[in-house]
Amino acid sequence: MLASNIQNIIAPGTVMNTTINSAPVPLMQSWGYAIQVVFTGVPTGNFQLQASCDPIPQARVEEVPPTNWSTVINSTIAVSAAGNLLWNVADMAYTYVRVVYTDTSGGTSTAVITACNFNGKGV
């Protein structure tokens, strides 16, 4: 079984006062994944998952990132206090996933992401 763990798809210490996009994570041959986000302070905004069906290029993902993103239905979670979130997703067919945080504080939030980690399982 293929297993992958990618730490810090959003850098620790990232202040949550603007829109934040994690690094895109390729899901080649994965049948499930979990993403956990941990944050401190008092955020005001929403986390959501976005997916892309863009093809995986022959070059490395970092060199040719996906450009077409769609919100994963029922993945949006509003946050207003320190805490953590976990998405556990199985049986997906898209090629990439990322976490998006949208700030609604008007740029005044001092909340901070302390961890954002990906764990995938496949064949």
User: Residues of the chain with pLDDT > 90: what percent?
Assistant: 84
C-beta neighbour count of 117 within 10 angstroms? 16
Region 7-17 average pLDDT: 98
- Output the CA–CA distances (angstroms, integers) from residue 18 to 34, 46, 89, 114, in the order listed: 24, 11, 26, 16
Give the H or E element holding residue 116.
strand 112-122
Strand-pair partners of 97 = 25, 51
Q: What is the pLDDT of residue 61?
A: 58
Q: What is the pLDDT of residue 120?
A: 94
How far apart CA 63 and CA 47 sit, in angstroms, is 26
Q: What is the pLDDT of residue 97?
A: 97
How far apart CA 71 and CA 89 sit, in angstroms, is 14
How far apart CA 79 and CA 60 sit, in angstroms, is 34
Q: Which residue has the tokens 């556990």?
A: 88
The tens digit of pLDDT for each residue in 60-87 reads: 656 778 999 999 999 999 999 999 999 9
How far apart CA 29 and CA 120 sit, in angstroms, is 10
Global pTM value = 0.92
Q: Are 34 and 89 in contact (CB under 8 A)?
A: yes
Q: What is the pLDDT of residue 56?
A: 81
Is 100's pLDDT higher than 70?
yes
**Domain over 2-55+70-122 is classified CATH 2.60.120.260:** yes
When pLDDT is cut at 50, 70 and 90, the band that residue 95 belongs to is: very high
The tens digit of pLDDT for each residue in 34-64 reads: 999 999 999 999 999 999 999 887 766 567 7
